[in-house]
Structure 1
Amino acid sequence: KKSQIMLDTIVSIGDTLKEIRETKGFHLQEVADKTSINYTSLSRIETGKRLPTKPQVQSLAEFYSYSENDLIRQLISDKIIYEVQNEDLGLEGFHLAEQKLKYGLNLFNDYK
């Protein structure tokens, strides 16, 4: 039962954005017009066919008056899942990355 509750509360950023939009009573075209995000892109984001960019998430958070930090956290977690979900050692790689972050290892400092 506990794991089912967890599964019910873990949703993608697309699911979250769709729920926010519907709760606030906006049509997809209306959001597209107000945020300057292409209608097709918004539809693909909400249906999980693509991930939003960080600027798109920021724009949507502002438009919906929703926590930008919460949406950015979801975006990051979805990106991680996208990268590791089909890897045999994906979960182990994720845990190793978590440890590296915890101990401040920044492998890509020169690439920023």
Structure 2
Amino acid sequence: MNPLPHGSAEGPTDGPADGPADGPPGGPSADLPTVAPRLRDLRRRSGLTLEAAAQRVGLSPAHLSRLETGRRQPSLPMLLTLARTYGTTVSDLLGEVAPERDPIVRADRMDAQEAGGWTYRQAGGSGRAMQALRLHVPERSAAQEDLVRVHPGEEWLYVLGGRLRLALGESVHLLSPGDAAHFDSLTPHRIAAASSGGVDLLFVHTLLQSGAAELCLGDAARGGRPGTP
């Protein structure tokens, strides 16, 4: 899948391939007021240069710089990518700090957030090795057009309503309510709604911590092979 690489297969160039991953250019969105400074802070605390971080995420340094300065708005898939890269969660990137590590997440605390046309609700606790989300993917969204992702880890999803088109490598699967998928995230993958009105999902993905990133990414984690997520 996905949210928020988890590098994408967009490649390291700063051309049209970077476009679908993020929202429209301009100043910081009211929906995402703290993402830019948090991205910059997390990268620096991880000891990564702009170039090294951009290579892990699968973007050009110029594109990542625009995200860090608020000149571009990240989509939910890109937020997932960045969260995995820095070993944190989308909620942390958005500045949502849980008052305590409560194992129970009540429905009235699952506030809806929107990024890149996708709507998500945090369905799990923060500071864990996995992140659980409830997602709504619209029938057509700039965030999902041609966005293929490849990254270490695993993903699990369950269709709540609507129909889902899931591309895994060369195979395309149509999932209906009640269907689920569990796959290795190193398999190139893309999700899209296959029904009018979009699709609603439960989605769980593993997060990369800094040590695991070095282990899983090998040379790429140290600025090696270009284009490797």
* TM superposition score category, shorter chain reference: 0.5 to 0.7
SS at 1:22's partner residue?
helix
Residue identity in the other structure for 2:44:
E
Judge conservation of contact 1:12–1:78 (CA < 8 Å) in 2: no
Match status 1:23 vs 2:45: yes
Task: Report the CA distance shift for 1:16/1:72 in structure 2 as closer, same or farther (over 3 A).
Answer: closer
Judge conservation of contact 1:18–1:46 (CA < 8 Å) in 2: yes
Distance 1:57 1:46 in 2: 12
TM-score, scaled to structure 1: 0.53
SS at 1:69's partner residue?
helix
Q: What is the deviation of 1:38? A: 2.4
Distance 2:38 2:91 in 1: 13
The equivalences for 1:37-56 within 5 A come to 37-56=59-78
Partner of 1:70: 92
Match status 1:12 vs 2:98: no
Distance 1:62 1:31 in 2: 12
Distance 1:65 1:56 in 2: 14
SS at 1:37's partner residue?
coil
Which structure shows the bigger proportion of residues in helix conformation? Answer: 1
Which structure shows the bigger proportion of residues in strand conformation? Answer: 2
Alignment match of 1:35 (pick from 57, 80, 85): 57
Root-mean-square deviation (Å): 2.8
Alignment match of 1:111 (pick from 197, 220, 225): 197
SS at 1:26's partner residue?
coil
Alignment match of 1:61 (pick from 54, 68, 83): 83
Judge conservation of contact 1:37–1:56 (CA < 8 Å) in 2: no
SS at 1:51's partner residue?
strand
Distance 1:60 1:68 in 2: 8
If asked which structure has higher relative contact order (CA below 8 Å, sep 6+), I would say 2
TM-score, scaled to structure 2: 0.28
Displaced runs of 4 or more, over 2 A: 68-74, 76-79
Judge conservation of contact 1:54–1:72 (CA < 8 Å) in 2: no
Residue identity in the other structure for 1:54:
L
Distance 2:65 2:35 in 1: 12
Q: What is the deviation of 1:59? A: 0.8
Q: Structure 1: which 5+ residue stretches go unaligned?
A: 1-10, 80-107
Judge conservation of contact 2:54–2:60 (CA < 8 Å) in 1: yes
Identity of aligned residues (%): 26
Q: What is the deviation of 1:44? A: 0.4
Residue identity in the other structure for 1:48:
G
